[in-house]
């Protein structure tokens, strides 16, 4: 990893921070399905059904999705070698359900997706889309995670330019980015080395910083593409809300079940390790001239639909209520980092719960 600082290139374009928090679709509130200790990726047999669990990926579900889907496929492949099942029920139409269903189709199984939300209504659809291992716990699963990270990154990277909404972009930050450092630590060489800069290449920035190269996965392109491909391959999407584990186990005809219900697993599978972490995002109009991610004390991800400014981290809140005032503050804060607005104190920017320590890679609290 090079440590010597290099001079930044000429300034990159400054974002336009004009924002109307009351306009439609400018504020988004989602809830990260964080699981204490570790995400869940394992199988159990219950009431004659074989259930594979794939949930609890916190702030990194988009990032890890293809890698986890490959693991689900491995587990199911071993199972059907002895059980000869031909049908599988996937619970959940978020990124975990859609990627798992895609891989399970490759086994020649008849796949049906059951979900009480359509893909565009899920938490996955609301995500910012940076490829980084953030706000997810993996105690005792380092080896497994290395494989997941490698598969996920490689699959996303290979899909660039193929209509999945994936691109490779520079990511600038004032200090090191834990979610990318973790990847470099676990799988050295997967991401390009970070570069230390004498200053970040933006108007109003005079202090040193870092440039990473990572992927941007745009959920409003990625999820509909997966949904279209699955439907074209004959996968049925069935609207359905399950109330209890018994409901799942007794009402489905399929003997193979893959549980990708995210935060829903807290109630459905009585999983008390699941902790909601609410996040709010502000959506500025798209600005195609911005071809970089900016992440520090909040982040900015210019996508083709919007410039996404985030995010808050409210542990133990599962509210999806929109809060335009918070979104307005997020934008003002980001604008202030670019010298475009007065600094602002934000009350909602960090995990304020005393259990911070149990989060792996917690986002840094904002100090303004």
For residues 100 and 321, is the Cβ–Cβ distance under 8 A?
A: no
* CA atoms 15, 20, 23, 27: torsion sign: positive
Based on the shown chain and the rule CB under 6 A, indicate whether residue 331 belongs to the binding site for ligand FAD: no
In angstroms, what is the minimal distance from the CB of 238 to ligand FAD?
10
* Tokens representing residue 302 in the block: 């210019």
DSSP 207-221: S-EEEEEEEEE-HHH
Q: From the list 51, 96, 195, 284, which residue makes contact with ligand FAD (rule: CB under 6 A)?
A: 96
Inter-helix orientation angle 219-232/95-105, to 10°? 30
For residues 150 and 190, is the Cβ–Cβ distance under 8 A?
A: yes
Q: Based on CB atoms, which residue is closest to ligand FAD, 57 or 306?
A: 57
Q: From the list 21, 33, 165, 295, which residue makes contact with ligand FAD (rule: CB under 6 A)?
A: 33
Q: From the list 57, 79, 105, 174, which residue makes contact with ligand FAD (rule: CB under 6 A)?
A: 57
Rounded CA Rg of the chain: 20
Based on the shown chain and the rule CB under 6 A, indicate whether residue 128 belongs to the binding site for ligand FAD: yes
String marking each residue 210-239 x if it binds ligand FAD according to CB under 6 A: ------------------------------
Q: Based on CB atoms, which residue is closest to ligand FAD, 95 or 137?
A: 95
* Tokens representing residue 123 in the block: 């938490």
Residues between 286 and 325 that touch ligand FAD (CB under 6 A)? 310-311
- Stretches 53-61, 145-153, 230-238, 346-354: which one binds ligand FAD (CB under 6 A)? 53-61
Residue 305, C-beta contacts closer than 8 angstroms, at least 6 positions apart: 218, 220, 283, 286
Q: Of the candidates 215, 91, 209, which has an alpha carbon nearest to the alpha carbon of residue 152?
A: 215
Based on the shown chain and the rule CB under 6 A, indicate whether residue 95 belongs to the binding site for ligand FAD: yes
Based on the shown chain and the rule CB under 6 A, indicate whether residue 252 belongs to the binding site for ligand FAD: no
Based on the shown chain and the rule CB under 6 A, indicate whether residue 332 belongs to the binding site for ligand FAD: no
Based on the shown chain and the rule CB under 6 A, indicate whether residue 266 belongs to the binding site for ligand FAD: no
Residues that contact ligand FAD, how many (by CB under 6 A): 43
Residue 113, C-beta contacts closer than 8 angstroms, at least 6 positions apart: 89, 90, 91, 92, 93, 97, 98, 101, 230, 235, 236, 237, 238
- Stretches 43-51, 55-63, 80-88, 153-161: which one binds ligand FAD (CB under 6 A)? 55-63
For ligand FAD, which residue has the nearest CB? 264
- Stretches 28-36, 77-85, 289-297, 324-332: which one binds ligand FAD (CB under 6 A)? 28-36
Based on the shown chain and the rule CB under 6 A, indicate whether residue 346 belongs to the binding site for ligand FAD: no
- Stretches 122-130, 141-149, 167-175, 284-292: which one binds ligand FAD (CB under 6 A)? 122-130
Q: From the list 110, 117, 141, 245, which residue makes contact with ligand FAD (rule: CB under 6 A)?
A: 117
Q: From the list 27, 51, 127, 215, which residue makes contact with ligand FAD (rule: CB under 6 A)?
A: 127
Q: Of the candidates 8, 288, 353, 295, which has an alpha carbon nearest to the alpha carbon of residue 129?
A: 295
In angstroms, what is the minimal distance from the CB of 227 to ligand FAD?
11
Based on the shown chain and the rule CB under 6 A, indicate whether residue 241 belongs to the binding site for ligand FAD: yes
Angle at the Cα of 201 (from 197 to 207), degrees rounded to 5?
A: 55
DSSP code of residue 130:
B
Pairing mode, if any, of strands 87-91 and 110-115?
Answer: parallel
* Tokens representing residue 142 in the block: 């380092």
Q: Of the candidates 131, 133, 158, 148, which has an alpha carbon nearest to the alpha carbon of residue 213?
A: 131
Q: Binding residues for ligand FAD, per CB under 6 A?
A: 30-33, 55, 57-63, 91-97, 115-117, 122-124, 126-130, 240-242, 260-264, 268, 279, 281, 310-311
């Amino acid at each position: 990893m090079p440590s010597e600082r290099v001079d930044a290139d000429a300034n990159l374009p400054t974002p336009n921070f004009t924002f109307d928090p009351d306009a439609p679709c400018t504020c988004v509130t989602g809830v990260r399905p964080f699981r204490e200790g570790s995400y869940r990726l394992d199988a159990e047999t219950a009431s004659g059904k074989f259930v594979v669990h794939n949930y609890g990926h916190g702030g990194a579900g988009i990032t890890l999705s293809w890698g986890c889907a490959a693991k689900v496929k491995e587990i199911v492949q071993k199972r059907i070698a002895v059980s000869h099942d031909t049908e599988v029920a996937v619970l959940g139409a978020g990124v975990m359900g859609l990627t798992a269903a895609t891989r399970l189709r490759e086994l020649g199984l008849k796949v049906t997706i059951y979900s009480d939300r359509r893909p565009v209504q899920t938490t996955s659809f609301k995500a910012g889309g940076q490829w980084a291992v953030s706000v997810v716990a993996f105690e005792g699963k380092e080896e497994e995670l290395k494989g997941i990270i490698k598969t996920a990154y490689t699959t996303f990277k290979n899909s660039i330019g193929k209509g999945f909404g994936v691109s490779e972009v520079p990511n600038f930050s004032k200090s090191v980015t834990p979610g990318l450092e973790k990847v470099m630590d676990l799988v050295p060489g997967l991401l390009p080395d970070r570069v230390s800069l004498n200053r970040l290449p933006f108007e109003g920035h005079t202090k040193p910083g870092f440039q990473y190269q990572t992927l941007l996965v745009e959920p409003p392109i990625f999820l509909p593409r997966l949904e279209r491909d699955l439907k074209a391959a004959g996968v049925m999407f069935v609207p359905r809300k399950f109330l209890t584990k018994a409901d799942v186990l007794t009402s489905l005809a399929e003997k193979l079940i893959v549980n990708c219900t995210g935060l829903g697993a807290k109630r459905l599978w009585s999983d008390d390790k699941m902790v909601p972490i609410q996040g709010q995002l502000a959506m500025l109009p798209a600005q195609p001239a911005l071809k970089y991610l900016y992440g520090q004390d909040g982040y900015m991800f210019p996508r083709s639909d919007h410039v996404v400014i985030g995010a808050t981290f409210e542990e133990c809140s599962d509210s999806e209520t929109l809060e335009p005032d918070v979104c307005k503050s997020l934008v003002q804060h980001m604008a202030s980092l670019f010298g475009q607005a007065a600094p602002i104190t934000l009350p909602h920017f960090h995990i304020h719960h005393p259990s911070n320590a149990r989060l792996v890679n917690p986002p840094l609290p904002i100090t303004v």
